[in-house]
């Protein structure tokens, strides 16, 4: 081999990049001090752009295709080198291959909660996470603004910058969407499309676009979740008054299964009084209202008879007072509030009647002194 053949072997005659990674955005072709000879083959594959840099200045960019490097298809580089007459000498230039495919494995999340105002819940703190796709749409602008002279620019070098940008725009997108907190899940796609357009516009200066933005989940703090669960449970119960009476009847059934236990008897008595008071409260809407029936416990079992704790109401100066049991009525007699002419009412009576007309209250009114004689 002659000296000239050996020197020709030092020249690079094929310039190409076969990407064996999934996260490389820009890769600089290694020259190893070799020069690219005029007439060398440049191979730019789909989803690639080749950018030639001469002495720190971007000279030429090539889209996908095959090229024979000569002065006529290197107009800017030829001007920089002074090849006005087609001088076919080897040349030195840095070649950067830019990957223009979509990088779809980009993740994002809010490290700190985003605070916004909701019409129904007031000020709330939200956390969110998801994924997005990024792609290079202007290779030369990317080299100028982000890559510089980095020989291998990877997604991890720009991912944190993109994440901070996303979080900075997320609060504004959620606030301007006008979507209530409970409806965010149904509008995540629309909010994601809006964020993709906003981010693409802002990243245009660095040559990057966001074609797809996905919000996988929006969550609230644990204490808010517990409050929402309670609210949902109350909605599922429906009529809370009827549910309370049902729970009391169920407890009575459990107590009846153990009649010999003192605790069971005490529980049954206490619950019986609670149920009686609950019925009386439900009938406080006016005279003649019939008490709501206590629902039967499940399984068809009948509870034991309720203790005889009749609840009475008395009318004093046109106002209803009560309920009172017999002991409470005796206290009202002692206080001078209840007398034979005082109107009283209990469940089952059609209308108010004077207490002196009811035999069942005779023992209570026995302590009422007779009227004073005239002076």
Domain C-terminal end among 99, 134, 159? 99
Tell me if 151 is assigned to some domain: yes
Residue 251 located in a structural domain: yes
Q: Is the pLDDT of residue 84 over 80?
A: no
Give bridge partners of residue 213 from the DSSP assignment.
132
CB count in 10 Å sphere of residue 38: 19
Indicate whether 232 belongs to any domain: no
Query: Is residue 184 within 8 Å of 101, Cβ to Cβ?
Result: no
CATH number for the domain spanning 125: value is 3.30.479.30
Q: Residue 219 in contact with residue 185, Cβ under 8 Å?
A: no
Q: Which residues share a beta bridge with 28?
A: 96
Give the residue with greater pLDDT, 198 vs 245: 198
Answer yes or no: do 146 and 186 share one domain.
yes
Q: Are residues 21 and 128 in the same domain?
A: no
As to burial, measured by CB atoms within 10 angstroms (0-12 exposed, 13-18 middle, 19+ buried), residue 198 is middle
Residues 6+ apart with CB under 8 A from 119: 180
- Pair 159, 191 in one domain: yes
**117 and 87 in one domain?**
no
pLDDT category at 300 given cuts 50, 70, 90 is low
In a domain? residue 139: yes
Contact by Cβ (8 Å): 216, 129: yes
Comparing 223 with 264, the larger pLDDT belongs to: 223
Q: Do 213 and 296 share a structural domain?
A: no
Position 135 scores a pLDDT of 95
Ordered DSSP codes for 259-319: TT-HHHHHHHHHHHHHHHHHHHHHTTT-TTPPPPPPPPPGGGPPPPPPP----EEEEETTE
pLDDT attached to residue 234: 66
For residue 286, the model assigns a pLDDT of 46
**Residue 126 CB-density burial (10 A; 0-12 exposed, 13-18 middle, 19+ buried):** buried
More confident residue, 49 or 362: 49
User: Does residue 375 or residue 291 have the better pLDDT?
Assistant: 375
pLDDT for residue 7 is more than 70: no
Distance CA 50, CA 209 (A): 19
Name the most confidently modeled range: 9-13, 66-70, 114-118, 296-300.
66-70
Is 291 among the domain residues?
A: yes
> What pLDDT score does 287 carry?
45
Q: How far apart are CA 5 and CA 8, in angstroms?
A: 5
Do 218 and 134 share a domain, yes or no? yes
3-class DSSP state of 235: helix
**What pLDDT sits at residue 303?**
61
Structure tokens at 17: 């990049």
Residue listed under structure tokens 């309370």: 244
Q: How confident is the model at residue 140 (pLDDT cuts 50, 70, 90)?
A: very high
Give the integer Cα–Cα distance in Å for 191 and 333.
71
User: Per mean pLDDT, which of 133-137, 288-292, 305-309 is the most reliable?
Assistant: 133-137
pLDDT of residue 8: 47
- The pLDDT tens digits of the residues spanning 142-163 come to 999 999 888 999 999 998 889 8
CATH classification of the domain holding 350: 3.30.1490
182 and 262 belong to one structural domain: no
Query: By residue range, what is the domain housing residue 259?
Result: 239-300
- What dihedral angle (degrees, nearest 10) is formed by the CA atoms of 215, 221, 223, 224? -50
Q: What proportion of the chain, given as a percentage, has pLDDT over 70? A: 72
Q: For the CA atoms of 221, 227, 232, 236, what is the dihedral angle to 10 degrees?
A: 150
**Is residue 92 in a domain?**
yes
For the chain, the average pLDDT equals 79
Check whether 270 has a pLDDT greater than 90.
no
Q: Total structural domains in the chain?
A: 4
Do the beta carbons of residue 125 and residue 84 sit within 8 Å?
no
Tell me the per-residue pLDDT of 181-221, one tens digit each, with 9 for 90 and over.
878 888 889 889 999 999 999 999 999 999 999 999 888 88
- The percent helix, strand, coil of the chain (3-state, each to 5) is 40, 25, 35
Angle, helices 240-256/262-282, rounded to nearest 10 degrees: 160
- Domain end call among 273, 300, 327: 300
Considering the domain architecture, whether residues 281 and 328 belong to the same structural domain is answered as no
d(CA 338, CA 367): 11
107 and 162 within one domain = yes
């Amino acid at each position: 081999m002659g000296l000239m053949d050996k020197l020709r072997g030092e020249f690079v005659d094929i310039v190409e990049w076969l990407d064996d990674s999934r996260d490389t955005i820009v890769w600089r072709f290694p020259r190893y001090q070799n020069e690219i000879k005029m007439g060398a083959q440049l191979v730019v594959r789909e989803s690639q752009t080749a950018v030639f840099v001469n002495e720190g200045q971007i000279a030429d960019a090539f889209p996908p295709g095959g090229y024979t490097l000569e002065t006529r298809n290197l107009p800017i580089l030829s001007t920089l080198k002074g090849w006005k007459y087609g001088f076919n000498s080897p040349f030195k230039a840095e070649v950067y291959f830019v990957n223009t495919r979509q990088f779809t494995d980009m993740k994002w999340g809010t490290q700190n909660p985003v605070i916004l105002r909701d019409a129904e819940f007031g000020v709330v703190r939200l956390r969110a996470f998801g994924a997005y796709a990024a792609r290079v749409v202007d290779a030369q602008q990317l080299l100028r603004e982000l890559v510089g002279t980095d020989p291998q620019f990877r997604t991890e070098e720009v991912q944190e910058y993109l994440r901070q940008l996303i979080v900075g725009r997320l609060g504004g997108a959620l606030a301007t969407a006008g979507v209530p907190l409970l409806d965010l899940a149904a509008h995540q796609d629309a909010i994601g499309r809006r964020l993709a357009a906003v981010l693409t516009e802002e990243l245009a200066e660095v040559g990057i676009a966001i074609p797809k933005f996905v919000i996988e989940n929006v969550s609230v703090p644990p204490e808010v979740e517990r409050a929402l669960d309670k609210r949902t449970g109350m909605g599922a119960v429906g009529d809370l008054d009827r549910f309370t009476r049902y729970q009391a009847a169920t407890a009575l059934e459990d107590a009846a299964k153990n009649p010999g236990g003192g605790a069971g008897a005490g529980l049954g008595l206490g619950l019986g009084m609670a149920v009686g008071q609950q019925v009386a409260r439900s009938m406080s809407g006016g005279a003649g209202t019939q008490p709501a029936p206590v629902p039967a416990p499940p399984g068809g079992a009948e509870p034991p008879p309720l203790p005889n704790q009749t609840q009475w109401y008395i009318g004093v100066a046109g106002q209803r007072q009560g309920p009172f049991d017999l002991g409470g009525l005796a206290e009202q007699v002692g206080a001078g509030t209840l007398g034979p002419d005082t109107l009283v009412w209990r469940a089952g009576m059609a209308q108010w009647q004077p207490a002196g007309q009811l035999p069942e209250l005779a023992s209570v009114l026995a302590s009422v002194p007779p009227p004073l004689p005239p002076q």
